[in-house]
Chains A and B, each alone.
Chain A
Amino acid sequence: MARKPNSSRQTEALLAALLHSGPGWRYGYDLSRETGLKSGTLYPILMRLEAQGWLETAWEDALTPGRPRRHLYRLSAAGSAEARALLESTQERSGRLSFVPREAGAQ
């Protein structure tokens, strides 16, 4: 049986972190610290998610002169829906994740 895309533990952890932050942009290093993923694991996943249309990327606006602009990440609308469905199905199947973030703004 073919494995579902983006269903590895690492990808699910990243999707959960991105879902948790809602529509806000995230830095790569922050995502690495939150998920515990090393950069060499994190960035290939980010690249894949972007290629699939799940992830939006942008370069930070210049805030402080001399401070390098950073790359930002957040889930696209389609990516949020897909990620939420994926994490919910995973949770139902195995109870691996302790939570699935709700829609942004809904408490």
Chain B
Amino acid sequence: MKRESNLGDWQARSLRRIALAACAPADRPWVEALFRELNFIEGAWPRASWLLGTARLVAEVTKQRFGAMLSLRLRVATAVAFCAALLSVLISRAGYEGLGVDDDVFLILALVCVAAPAARLAIARRDHGAAGPSSPGPP
């Protein structure tokens, strides 16, 4: 019984760390609050059920956090890639190969497709991290 209890505590502690790391600072008090309630829940099944809810809460807040970043990132990347591909086709059609620009456009396209989403993600993360907590943090 003691061993089960310790195992549960260990799992809860690990899950808490992962959950807090995955969430934005503004959402952490909520995750912390949810985990603290675990101390007052009796029984293995209610505790497991409560922990399952934690996973859902984390999924919800991380979906909001990263979903917004990803959609923006993909939109920018798609627009840039489309423009670059169009330019590449036009140059190819025109038969212009001076200075090897035809090949370079494809190379630039690949670089932009990687760099634009990465830059977008970095900006979004910085902006998101700058937001303060929505409620006083846990003591």
Interface centre among B32, B36, B49 (most CB of A within 10 A): B36
Q: Is B138 an interface residue (CB 8 A)?
A: yes
Total cross-chain contacts (CB, 8 A): 74
- Is B34 a contact of A59 with CB atoms below 8 Å? no
Complex: A50 Cα to B54 Cα, angstroms: 18
In angstroms, Cα B32 to Cα A11, docked, is 22
Where chain B touches its partner, the secondary structure class is helix
What is the interface size of chain A, counting residues whose CB is below 8 A from a CB of the partner? Answer: 24
- What residues of B have a CB within 8 angstroms of the CB of A68 in the complex? 36, 39
Q: Which residue of B lies closest to A46 (CB)?
A: B30
- With a CB–CB cut-off of 8 A, which chain A residues contact B53? 38-43
Q: Does B13 contact A (CB under 8 A)?
A: no
A70 within 8 A of B: yes
B33→A40 contact, CB < 8 A: no
In Å, the complex CA distance between A59 and B37 comes to 12
A-B contact pairs, 5 of them (CB 8 A): A28-B37, A39-B53, A42-B53, A43-B30, A47-B61
> A: which residues have CB within 8 A of B?
27-29, 32, 38-44, 46-47, 50-51, 57-59, 62, 67-71
